[in-house]
Structure 1
Amino acid sequence: MGQVFDKLRGKQWRQKQVQAICDRVFDRFKLQTGKANFTFEELYIAVLLVYNDINKGLPGPHFDPPLKDLVKSMMTDCDINLDGEIDREEFVKFVELLTADTFAVVSQGLIISLIVAPTVAIATKKATEGVPGVGKVVQKLPTSVYASLVTLAIVWANSDTS
C-alpha cells in the first residue's frame, strides 16, 4: 500500500522513476561504449531505451518515442555546457522534459484506477441488488472485497486497451 501512496505523491515519485531509468540507460551505454557523454545518435538510441523502460515498467497506455527532430532540438536546449554532447546531469534534465506529459498520463490513470474506481464500486454495490443471480452474490461479498474486485477489473480493462 505504501507504493500506491508513493506513486500518488507526484513529483517526487516521478523524479525517482526518471532518475532510475536514466541511471540504468546511462550506465548501460557507458559500459558498452566507454564514453561518459552522448552524441546525438547515442542520445536517440538512449531515448528509445527510456521509452522501452517506460512502456514496460509503468502502468498505462503505450507511449511512442519522439521523432529525431524533437530530440535534436531538445538536445540543443539541454546541452548546458555547449559541447555538443549530453552528460549524465543533462540527460536527466532532458528525460524529465521529454517525459513530462507521459508521467502526467500515468498519474491520472493511477488516480482513476486507485481512487475513483473503488468509490464507484462502493456506491454501486446497492444497485446490484435487483440483478438476478449476480445481486445476491454481490451482496454477500464484503464491501472491501467487492471494491477490490471492481478496481482490479478496471485496471485490467485499462491495461488491455493499451
Structure 2
Amino acid sequence: MGMIMSFMGKGLPIPSTQMPSYVMGSLYKQFVDKNIKTFDEFHVAVLEIFNTFNSSLPGKHYDVPSRKDVEAGYNDWRAAPELEKKEMFINFMKEKLNTGKLDDSTFIIGLATPPAAMAAKRAGENVPQLGFIKAIPDVIFVPSATILALVSAKLTKRMLQGSPIAS
C-alpha cells in the first residue's frame, strides 16, 4: 500500500509559491486582450479583476485600491517598455491585493443579532397583532434579521462618518 501512495505524487504540479504568479499571469492575459488605451479602460479592467477575485473566492475578499493608486499604476504601466508591462502589472496587483477587514461593530452586530432575533421572534409570537410571525420559519427569520442589521449598521456608519461602504 505504501508503494502505491509513493507513486501518486506530491500534490499540485505548480508549487504554492508560484500559484500567485500563475494566477496573475492568466489575469494579465485577459487584461491584455482588452486592448487598453486610456486610464478609464485600465481602471475598469482592474475593477473587473477585483470583482472576479471577490466573486470566485469564498470567504476571502479583497479591497479595491484607491483611484489615486490605480492612476499611479496606470502611469507606470503605460511608461514601461512592452516587455516589462506584464511584470509591472503583476507587481502592481500583488502590492494592491489587500484582504478586506471587518470593523469591530460589524463583528459585534453579526454575533449579537441572531440570539436577539430569536428572542424578538419568540416575544412577537405572543402578541396578537404580530401573529404572522409564527408563519415565518426560524431558518428564514434569523438570517434575514442579521443581514438587515448588518446593512443598516453599515449604512448608518457611512452616513455619520462619510466612510466608504467597502471597508
Q: Do both proteins adopt the same fold according to a TM-score greater than 0.5, normalized to the shorter chain?
A: no
TM-score band, normalised by the shorter chain?
0.3 to 0.5
Q: Which has the higher helix share?
A: 1
TM-score (norm 2): 0.41
Say which one has the larger Rg.
Answer: 2
